[in-house]
Structures are given as C-alpha cells and as structure tokens.
A and B are shown apart, each in its own frame.
Chain A
C-alpha cells in the first residue's frame, strides 16, 4: 500500500491567525462517529464555520471568498489536545496538503505526516509575515518544496527552511507506507519477542 506522495506545491493560502487551535475545534467530538474515513472535511472547524442554524458563518475564513488554496496557515500550537486522527483527515479532506504554523502539537504532527499532509513549522516572525502579506493580498502565492525543505513567499522572494525527520521525508517524497516497513521487520520483531 502507499500514501499520497508530496513533492512540491505552489498555492495561495488560507490564514487562521488563532493560537492553540485544539483538535476539538478542528473537528468536534460529535463528528467522530463514522466507522469509515469519509466526509470529515465538511465538518472541519465546524463550530466556527457554521452558525447555530447551520448556515455558513460569513466571518469565518473558510467562508470568505477572498481566501482559498491548499495551504492552511495557523497560529502557534496548532492541533493540541485529543489524539483523534479525524482532525488530520478533516484538514486533508477539506483539500489542504500543507499546514503551516510556528508550533505543532506532537500527536497532531505525526497524524498529519501519516496522511500525506505536510506540517511546515516556521519561525514566528515568518508566520506574522505570511499573515500580513495575505491580509493585503489574498492572491499571494507560496511555494512549498519538500526536497529542499523550503517555504517561499513567491511575491516577496523570502524563503525559510523547515525541519522534517529524514525518514518521514523519504516516506512522503516516495509515498512509502509505515506499515509495509514494519511488516518487513517480522523477523526482528519475533526475535525481540523471543529474547
């Protein structure tokens, strides 16, 4: 089996300048009841995105026609709280392929990586720069290049590097699947169990 490859992406961004966005905001618990991985994107940021009567909240960024794209940019400590992978599925199903923040919660970070979604951690000053640029110009394009581990604000020509575990980088670039790798270690695992 394989996961979706990620190599390079050029896109506009959707800005969410809120800190500590927890996984209950990304997808509230009452939407975790599926037994299949389907339809989570519709409930991404559900309680911010829709009003009580179910109509879209015009003040929320996902409902703002000025903003679109495959890159979600959020305030620091994105994805804290619950381990629910439904949060990663919701972000992915809503069409995002990259999430940018100045800080990610641990479990969320590994969950997105396991779903072909790239977490890009940037310095806070760079994050502020992104928010300022897209506030003025929502059509500003960004390039995310996994091979060189850079994110570039194309208009301004400013880049920063981001970190990624070399193993995870290989997996994403080539679409490798962790479980295939673990299954290839059957001998080692049973030797460990015997020891």
Chain B
C-alpha cells in the first residue's frame, strides 16, 4: 500500500484527533496548556460554575507575565487591578493543583520563553495558550497556537479543543542571509510581502536553507511572528539544533526515555511530495534589516528604503494607509532612516531570549547610548536575566548607559507601567505596532535587536551595517 505523502503538520494533527465531528471541527487532544493571568480567570470562573476542576493539571503550566512590573518585583504590585489578576492566577492554580511559576520563582518569565527553556515544549506536541504568540513553540516542530478564553475553558474541562483543521502553507527561504539580518528581519520581510491577513486560515511550515541555518532562538522569533500574517501558527521541522537545545533541560526526557523520544522526533518532517495549499519562496539575499513605518506589522520596509507613497491604493485601502501614516506622523515617500527615536525596547516573547541580548550587547559594547533615548532592557525570564549576568552583559550595558530590568511582557503591550508616552517614537523588538499598543498614542517601529541597538546609540533610525 502506498501512503499518501503528508506534511509535518498533518502528521502531528492527525495523531491528536480524538474524534472527527461530522461537518464540524475536530476534537483535538492537547499535550501542554500554558496559562497566564489575563486570559485565564474567566475560564476558571466558568469551570467553577459547572462545579468542575481542571481535568489535567499536570499538563497545565502557569506564569504571570502580562501585568507584572519590571522593577522591584519583590514588592507587592502597586496597581490594584494587576495585583488582583496575578493573585487570582495564584488562587486558581492552588485550587486546581496547577504548577505556578510566580514572580518569586526561579523559573518565572514570559510564558513563551519559559516553556522552551525549561524543556516543556517538545517536538510533535500540541500546545495551546490563551495568547496568540503561542505560535512561538512551533519552532520545535510542534503544533502550537493561541486560543480564546472559551477555548481555555474547553481545555481545562477536557484537555481537548474543538478546532477546524487549517490549510497548510509552506514558506521557504533559501540562501545565505546578509550580514546583520536576523530572524526578526525574515519575519517582517515575509509579513510585508503577504500582509497581515495573508496567512489567515493556514498553518505555516517554514523551510529552506536560510531557516535551517537559524538558531533555536531565531526560529522561535520567526514562529512567534507567524500570527502577525494572520496564520494560526508556524512550525519548523526539528533537527539536530532542536535536539541539542532540548537535551538536559529541566523537563526534557532523560535516560532511556530520551532515546525513545529522540527516535520519534527524528521522524518528524514533511514527506518529500507532501502538498501544501499555498507556497511562497523567497531568496535570503533579498532581505535587509527591516523596520515598520505604519500601524500593522505588514507595513515594513528595508531600513535603506522609503515609506511607500500609497499612490497605487484606492478606496478604503487608501483611507487606512493615510490614517496609519497620520498616526505615525510620517509622510508618504519619506526615508525612514534618520527618523527620531525617543524610546528603545528590547524584550518580549519575540526577542527576549539570551541570543537577543548578546546581539544587543555586542553592538553597544564600547559605545554610548544617545542621551535623548530612554531604553528598556527587559529579559524574557529569570533564567535569561541570570544568563545575562553570568555572561557579563550587564557590565557592557551599564558601561554604555543601559540598565537591566526584570522579566515580563512589559512595553510590548504596556499592561504594566512600561508605557511609551503619546506621540513618542519607539523602536521596539516586540511584535505589534498597532495604534496605542505600547501606550495610548505611542508610535511603534518594530525591528530586530540589532536595529534597536543602532537606534539606541544614534537616537535615530539607523542601519546597523553602517557602524
């Protein structure tokens, strides 16, 4: 019998279908459920109303990240509503027997940073979280996607979710990346090509030699941003880099179990002739350091480029474009390089890993932060913070005029005090440049840690290759 060739996505999905509903969604079994303080309380309430407890607490992992302050974490959270939400997570976890990595725990951090770094995220798994950037975990060859609170309640109740099977997309990037071009630039480049809705209805597999050459940190950055083109998630087939990263981590398989798992993981790839519903191919050498100029992540250009004129747009497309540039205080056709920068934020589930801080440190070493720039350096987790200290990066930051803060989502969505003031410009390594995302009226330009470093040193949008 000849089996039909399957994509990696199909193989993992099909292995997790508990039941197919006629004309309906699949009942998909979930291996790991990450939760945080913002999208879980209403789901816990719903469960309580049914008189139920969490069905599989041992596969549920909790951490407060969205609301937490990034200084003085040993003190009670000042803002009342944030404090209540963080406390609610603690209470709900205690009631349901869920492991919580709270602010005082050595494993605390942003949910999408700690899952991989603790070895909880593994190839072939299904992983969900009430957060769209759950797509990050796809870097390990797992199916990982963000869900709403009703769906969080479904997983609490049954460890399953009702989900229609998405279409499959493959995005291949072949060739060698130019100097100073990172995974973040690949992500912003792809989204600028296919738009913020280009991936809707799809799950992406990233492939090609440029993708294979990325470190696990880079792969996580890329998969993290796959939601920004509208896709449910993105994934990369696991390889030696994946296995090497997982091996020895706290919750990674050990001993004989490791060998068994490894043998299974090595099978996880798309078959040669597997068919994707949609395919895009790009040449790595066409990608330069990227930056966004507008109010969605698809509005990105190479740093040497000009803001589009919008002349080809009509109707509501034009209205939307003009509204966006007006918000940003930019004019069509202008150069982006040289634009004033007031704030720089390095961190978030997109670029808050050790490699990101190494890149940043390497760039700012021996230089001085521009006096006009306020910079927030926020590690993705306690472990990342510890690594930054152990590797001596703090000294480099301090000598250059930067201070290290404590882990959390921080200025990515400004739910805590880390808000960019109205009208101010920020170069941010986070994932969204929506209106008001970093604070009401804040103007966000998304970029890589290197672009952020160049902006922090020069006080304007700069090309890191010119330093």
Chain A contact residues, CB within 8 Å of chain B: 1, 17-20, 22, 24-25, 28-30, 32-37, 47, 52, 75-77, 80-86, 88, 103, 105-107, 110-111, 114-115, 128, 165-168, 178-179, 181-183, 185-186, 188-189, 192-193
* Max chain A C-beta neighbours (<10 A), residue from B67, B147, B150, B323: B150
B42 touches A35 (CB 8 A): yes
0/1 interface trace, chain B 125-165, chain A, CB 8 Å (1 if under): 00000111010000000000011111101100111101010
Those of B10-43 within 8 Å (CB) of chain A: 18-19, 21-25, 27, 29, 38-39, 41-42
How long is the Cα–Cα vector from A29 to B439 in the complex, in angstroms? 9
B296 touches A20 (CB 8 A): yes
Q: Using Cβ atoms and an 8 Å threshold, which residues of chain B touch A179?
A: 46, 50, 153-154, 157-158
B315 touches A (CB below 8 Å): yes
Look across to chain B and name the residue whose beta carbon is closest to the beta carbon of A30. B415
Q: Using Cβ atoms and an 8 Å threshold, which residues of chain B touch A166?
A: 23-24
The residue that A36 contacts in the complex, of B42, B50, B315, B316, with Cβ under 8 A, is: B42
The residue that A29 contacts in the complex, of B22, B147, B160, B414, with Cβ under 8 A, is: B414
Shortest 6 CB-CB contacts between residues of A and residues of B: A167-B24, A114-B150, A33-B81, A85-B148, A111-B148, A83-B146
B394 touches A (CB below 8 Å): no
How long is the Cα–Cα vector from A193 to B160 in the complex, in angstroms? 11
B285 touches A (CB below 8 Å): no
Q: Using Cβ atoms and an 8 Å threshold, which residues of chain A touch B434?
A: 22, 24-25, 81
12 other A-B residue contacts (CB within 8 Å) besides A24-B436, A85-B149: A19-B316, A29-B413, A80-B197, A80-B296, A81-B132, A81-B434, A103-B200, A106-B200, A167-B21, A182-B157, A185-B160, A192-B18
Those of B39-75 within 8 Å (CB) of chain A: 39, 41-42, 45-46, 49-50, 66-67
How long is the Cα–Cα vector from A114 to B153 in the complex, in angstroms? 11
Look across to chain A and name the residue whose beta carbon is closest to the beta carbon of B146. A83
A80 touches B29 (CB 8 A): no
Write 5 A-B pairs (CB below 8 A) sorted by A numbering.
A24-B413, A29-B414, A106-B230, A179-B46, A193-B29
Number of A-B contacts (CB under 8 A): 179
B200 touches A18 (CB 8 A): no
The residue that B24 contacts in the complex, of A33, A165, A188, with Cβ under 8 A, is: A165
Q: What's the nearest-Cβ distance from chain A to residue B24, in Å?
A: 3
A168 touches B24 (CB 8 A): yes
A80-B196, A85-B39 known; A29 vs B29 contact (CB < 8 Å)? no
Q: Using Cβ atoms and an 8 Å threshold, which residues of chain B touch A182?
A: 27, 154, 157-158, 160, 162
Those of B140-198 within 8 Å (CB) of chain A: 146-151, 153-154, 157-160, 162, 164, 166, 196-197
Look across to chain B and name the residue whose beta carbon is closest to the beta carbon of A104. B200
A75-B316, A182-B158, A185-B19 known; A20 vs B196 contact (CB < 8 Å)? yes
B18 touches A35 (CB 8 A): no
The residue that A183 contacts in the complex, of B81, B149, B157, with Cβ under 8 A, is: B157
